[in-house]
Structure 1
Amino acid sequence: MTELQQASLPKTWRGNCRAIFVSDIHLGSKGCQAEALLDFLRHYEAEYLYLVGDIIDFWALKRRWYWPVAHSTVIQKVLRQARAGVRVTYVQGNHDPVLGLLDSFLEGDEHRLAVGEIRIVPDCVHQTADGHRLWITHGDQFDLSMHYARWLTHLGDRGYSLLLTLNRWHQRLNRLLGIRSHWSLSAFIKHRIKRAVQFISQY
Structure 2
Amino acid sequence: MNSKDRPQAPHYRSVFISDVHLGTKDSKASELNDFLKSHRFDQLYLVGDIFDGWRMRSGIHWHKSFNRIISRVLKISKNDIPVYYITGNHDEFLRKFANSHFENIQLLNRKDHICADGRRLLVIHGDQFEGLTHCGRFLKFIGDRGYDFLMLINRSVNHLRARFGFGFWSFSAYLKTHLKRAQRYIHDYEHAVAHGAAKQNYDGVICGHIHQAAIKKVENTDYYNTGDWVESCTAIVEHHDGKMELIHWLEHPLRLSMAQAKKQKIKLKKKKTKALVETMP
TM range, smaller chain: 0.7 to 0.9
Q: What TM-score does the superposition give when structure 2 sets the normalisation length? A: 0.57
Residues 55-105 of structure 1: per-residue CA shift (max 9 Å, x gap): 0110111111111111011011001100101110001111011111222xx
What letter matches 1:91 in structure 2?
I
Q: Pick from 40, 47, 56 the counterpart of residue 45 of structure 1.
A: 40
Counterpart of 1:86 in 2: which secondary structure? Answer: coil
- Residue 118 of structure 1 pairs with residue 105 of structure 2: yes
Residues 90-145 of structure 1: per-residue CA shift (max 9 Å, x gap): 01111011111222xxxxxxxx2122221011110111112221111111122238
Q: Which has the larger radius of gyration?
A: 2
Q: Pick from 149, 164, 188 the counterpart of residue 174 of structure 2.
A: 188
Which residue of structure 2 lines up, in the alignment, with residue 161 of structure 1?
148
Change (3 A) 1:13 1:33: same
Matches within 5 A, 1:1-203: 13-103=8-98, 112-144=99-131, 153=140, 156-180=143-167, 182-189=168-175, 192=179, 194-195=182-183
Which residue of structure 2 lines up, in the alignment, with residue 107 of structure 1?
none
User: How big is the shift at 1:183?
Assistant: 3.6
What is the alpha-carbon distance in structure 1 between the residues aligned to residue 121 and residue 85 of structure 2? 15
What is the alpha-carbon distance in structure 2 between the residues aligned to residue 141 and residue 147 of structure 1? 14
What is the alpha-carbon distance in structure 2 between the residues aligned to residue 145 and residue 135 of structure 1? 18
Counterpart of 1:143 in 2: which secondary structure? Answer: helix
Q: Pairwise CA RMSD of aligned residues?
A: 2.9
Which 5+ residue runs of structure 1 have no aligned equivalent? 1-9, 104-111
What letter matches 2:145 in structure 1?
R
Paired-residue identity, %:
35
Is the contact made by 1:144 and 1:198 (CA closer than 8 Å) also made in structure 2?
Answer: no
User: How big is the shift at 1:53?
Assistant: 0.5
Is the contact made by 2:88 and 2:127 (CA closer than 8 Å) also made in structure 1?
Answer: yes
Change (3 A) 1:175 1:114: same
Q: What TM-score does the superposition give when structure 1 sets the normalisation length? A: 0.77
Is the contact made by 2:135 and 2:184 (CA closer than 8 Å) also made in structure 1?
Answer: no
Count matched residues: 181
Is the contact made by 1:14 and 1:44 (CA closer than 8 Å) also made in structure 2?
Answer: yes
